[in-house]
Structure 1
């Protein structure tokens, strides 16, 4: 277990359950975003996302879910993701322990045909939970989106004493459309399940305030910590894979070198290609 920290941001490289149990104080976290392995067989830099049985996976999940709730402040918020097939188990388990306020769908387009004999999955579910449904942070004005009824269709609300065009802004509903992170995007890192900055930006803005502490127990590319830093929050990121921890150390600018290697963003194939000379450039040589 290695711990790196600087300017209010901490990275714990090690097992999530051990780190949560031994390195995070109880009732100390304002916001938790958890995006764990989904038990669907993804390869995370040599660590396979697959348990021997569904029961083993759920037993492991219930351990860290309990710890996350324990670490939340009484006013804290908890966003948790998993695969569509396991979210019902999470929902039933958590509703006895914490208040589930919203069941969110993160919807995205597919890069190609996903299935031919059934309906391919094009969304991931997120639960939004709070410890105290009468006392929690929700900055509605910081996450307003366009309300097409008023902004584009200009429909009139005749129920009011003075008929008025519907509002042009609204709080987002529970279906969120953000594109997945793709290879050629500037924010892309070498990770199979990277979550977009826009998704975390909405969550962090809505459910935390300046100087709050945000925890991500399965940090991956450390987008949660990256967004937290950009919005003047503190962060704690836990990641078992050392190569992914290096991404976080670089993105948060905590250290510049680890294991004798300079922490630099890996160039993608199209960035390494040399431009072929054009005729004018050849004539000018």
Structure 2
């Protein structure tokens, strides 16, 4: 189904667009974006079960997370190639994943012209227990940070060191799961902590840059961009999630940054 492209929010820093992300990205001029933060579908909605608050719940996130008529490798290839076209020469991309999809992304990024800079391990300090009791509890997700092969990334080294008590910041970041305040306007099933996204924005953007989130969901990247004075564009195909994002961005100064180590 083709989704009509519609700008649903705009202020001096943030623009939110309701659209299929690939259709929207096609309209971006080449070499026009400095940083991309992408939390694409992990394609885990397979009818299984997980644990939430001690209760057995479905793992299904929504139709957008199901494998229907497109294979994950095809979807991710399209994302990476679209990112390569619109990123500036020195642009970088952050991509979230889990063990279920991160190896596909890690294989495809170098194949299509990117060099991986870091493999960030996001460790959840209070993960849900493993219901099967047949394997270790899943307590981490991965964030790949990559640059164009011939580019030179911006890295706010001094600020990262300052935030880490005058020591070089490591590639393992630990946070609790999302607090209820970050979901006060509504819930998104794969929402990431503001503390994680805020650190990514601080590390890789500078005044005057343009930040894009092609799967903005409930707007965490847009909030982080606004908090740091970075012009941010968010795209999502769900008006319901964008309605949450609009409320969060409109009240970004009230957002509370959770703990992160």
> 2:109 aligns to what?
94
- Inter-CA distance 215–240: structure 2 relative to 1 (3 Å threshold): same
Partner residue in 1 for 2:51:
none
TM-score by length of structure 1 reads 0.75
Alignment check: 8 A CA contact 1:77 1:136 kept: yes
Larger radius of gyration: 1
> Out of 22, 41, 59, which is 2:74 matched to?
59
Q: Which residue of 2 aligns with 1:135?
A: 152
SS at match of 2:71: helix
**Superposition map of 1:34-73 within 5 A:** 34-41=38-45, 42-44=59-61, 46-52=62-68, 56-73=71-88
Aligned with 1:89: secondary structure?
Answer: helix
Specify every segment of 5 or more residues in structure 1 that has no aligned partner in the other structure, as ranges: 148-167, 255-285
Instruction: Quote the residue 2:35 is aligned against.
Output: 31
Matched position secondary structure for 1:169:
coil
The answer to whether the 8 Å contact 1:239/1:245 transfers is yes
Show the counterpart of 2:181. Answer: 186
1:71: how far off? Answer: 1.1
The count of aligned residue pairs is: 229
What corresponds to 2:255 in structure 1?
A: none
**Residue 146 of structure 1: how far off its partner (Å):** 7.2
Q: What is the aligned partner in structure 2 of residue 259 from structure 1? A: none
Change (3 A) 1:124 1:25: same
Distance 1:132 1:142 in 2: 25
Distance 1:92 1:15 in 2: 25
Query: Alpha-carbon deviation of 1:81?
Result: 1.2
**In 1, distance between residues paired with 2:247 and 2:114?**
35
Q: Which residue number corresponds to residue 263 of structure 1?
A: none
Moved more, 98-107 or 35-44: 35-44
Alignment of 1:201-216 (within 5 A): 201-216=198-213
Q: Secondary structure at the match of 1:247?
A: helix
Q: Alpha carbons of 1:133 and 1:203: their partners in 2 closer, same or farther (altered >3 Å)?
A: farther
Partner of 1:272: none
